[in-house]
Amino acid sequence: MLSCAASSPPSPPPPDYAHNKAGTIPSMEGAHHEFKDNVIIVVFGASGDLAKKKTFPALFGLYKLGYMPEGVRIVGYARTKMDETEFHRRATSYIKNPNEEEEIKTKVEEFKAMSTYVSGGYDDDASFQNLEKHLQEIEAKFQGGERNRIFYLALPPSVFLPVAKGIKKNNYTPAGHNRIIVEKPFGKDLQSSRDLLSSLKQDWEENETFRIDHYLGKEMVKNILVLRFANKFYGSGWDKNSISNVQITFKEPFGTEGRGGYFDEFGIIRDILQNHLLQVLTVLTMERPVSFAPEDIRDEKVKVLRSIPPIERSDTLLGQYVGANGKPGYLEDDTVPRGSNCPTFAAVTLWINNPRWEGVPFILKAGKALNEAKVEIRIQYKDVTQGIFKDIARNELVIRIQPSEAVYVKINTKTPGLYTRAIPTEMDLTYKRRFTDAKIPEAYEALILDAIKGDHSNFVRDDELDGAWKIFTPILHWIEGRHGPAPRPHPYPYGSRGPKGLDDFLSKYGFKRGEPNYIWPVTNVPNVATS
């Protein structure tokens, strides 16, 4: 048994804020049970890519910053047979230390010392009982009476339920609190999701269950609530009277790259729109909650979802990338079924039938093999009253989620100099320029910390999941040809902006493309002024 390394104490806040309560959110504090000590985190699927690339680096990041419970232990569990030396190599292979800092090297060795590995199956009691024996050996060295366990399921959906049941039967501690963290996908449509939820609820209470949508852990998504409800000037124009249309966009510059078989089973809508982008939409459009306590926030998100009718076929644009620029097309991926109609690009328009948002189109777009990597929210305001300015650009509020986190407002201002003309520019809050000494945490770091604290604010509740599937299931069944011929996605070249009809699709909902010579974040005045 490897020795246990104690977690370092939490980093103190900057001096200016150490004794200043201004800006704190009391309703987010003390509303849940935080694990302080005597904690084991068990990572199922410890030999897989998700654990190696996301889960273990996030756990290390929290340990390095001092946010782990005192004396925490980490146990990896998977079917792969390997010794702890190999497990430690895999678990730390994606931990970044580009400058070879000795402090980080030391922390890595401490992280290894607090991590152990157990190999076993996912569907037999004997394997789970062997894991239980290992957990009890660790807990025998804990001080005090309480024993707390967090079970992180970095697993494919095919083994999710047997593992959840095996844990409850064999590894659920009666001596403390148990929490289970679940990765998407949560079903493939409304009925399969309900079946999954029903099976899970037979063993796990809702307050023990943490369903991860990692977009809710991203810094700029978590910032939306503060931007909206801590700034008076946003509230007055945050409705149908001022806003023309909203786009929430996800773009990847690469294709399936040999993972087409897995992707084809789920598609871009299940992979991105039904969860990540829809969750962003709910945070963006929800009413002001009573407080920032988890259930108050999630209650308001559910109200938004219940106000959105199922997506219409006429409000949908589908695409599939073809080979271009020396890159292969989707159907050229050997792992993709021959002749697949699976969309690799989708744009859908949602409508929220409530007094604030009635008539405002919310366009969710996502695609692979596009021209850039970008996730952003673009809120386009209505035209200013006519009569003074000619063809003036619309105002836009853009929240750049990744990369280069930023919030900027596109405004019109007078051209510098002796000539009076309105040109577009921006008020720009780019994080890396404004907060030069701040480290933006990875989404998984933020969410695992929330789970340790028992804070459900940024996790998906069961009724949220049900509401989301009601919106998307009819369109998914149409795409799969369950009720007639399946639609054929429009081809688009690898490395392009998307299908040829994208601009017409956006303009149908009132979106006006801006000044062609305007480029954020630098405005070239001569170019804009002479266009």
Q: Tokens 């001080």 correspond to what residue?
A: 143
Strand 374-381 and strand 396-402: pairing?
Answer: antiparallel
Amino acid at 354: N
Tokens of 484: 């007639």
Q: What angle do CA 215, 218, 219 make, to 5 degrees?
A: 155
Q: Which residues contact 248 (CB under 8 A, 6 or more apart)?
A: 277, 280, 281, 284, 362, 363, 364, 365, 376, 377, 378
Amino acid at 277: L
Extract the tokens encoding 11: 């980093």
Q: How far is C-alpha 323 from the chain's CA centre?
A: 29
- Cα gap 449→209, rounded to integer Å: 14
Nearest CA among 220, 200, 199, 195 for reference residue 210: 200
Q: Dump the DSSP string for 275-329.
A: IIIHHHHHHHHPPPPSSSSHHHHHHHHHHHHHTPPPPPGGGEEEEEEE-BTTB--
Is the bond preceding 15 in cis, omega lying within 30 degrees of 0?
no
Strand order in the sheet with 73-78: 115-119, 73-78, 39-44, 148-153, 178-183, 209-212
- CA-nearest of 243, 467, 265, 275 to 360 is 243
Reported as half-sphere exposure (CB side, CA atoms, 13 A), residue 439 has a value of 9
Instruction: Measure the CA–CA gap between 227 and 224, rounded to whole angstroms.
Output: 5
Contacting residues for 528 by C-beta, under 8 A, at least 6 apart = 423, 424, 515, 517, 518
276 is catalytic: yes
CA pair distance 306, 277, nearest whole angstrom = 16
Pairing of strands 422-430, 406-414: antiparallel
User: How far apart are alpha carbons 208 and 181 in whole angstroms?
Assistant: 9
What do you get for the CA distance between the two ends of the chain, in Å? 71
The residue annotated as part of the active site, out of 276, 456, 477, 490, is: 276
Cβ 88 vs Cβ 56: under 8 Å: no
Rounded Cα–Cα distance for residues 206 and 376 (Å) = 31
Classify residue 487 as exposed, middle or buried by CB count within 10 Å of its CB (0-12, 13-18, 19+).
middle
Cα separation, 67 vs 11, whole angstroms: 8
Q: Which residues are catalytic?
A: 276
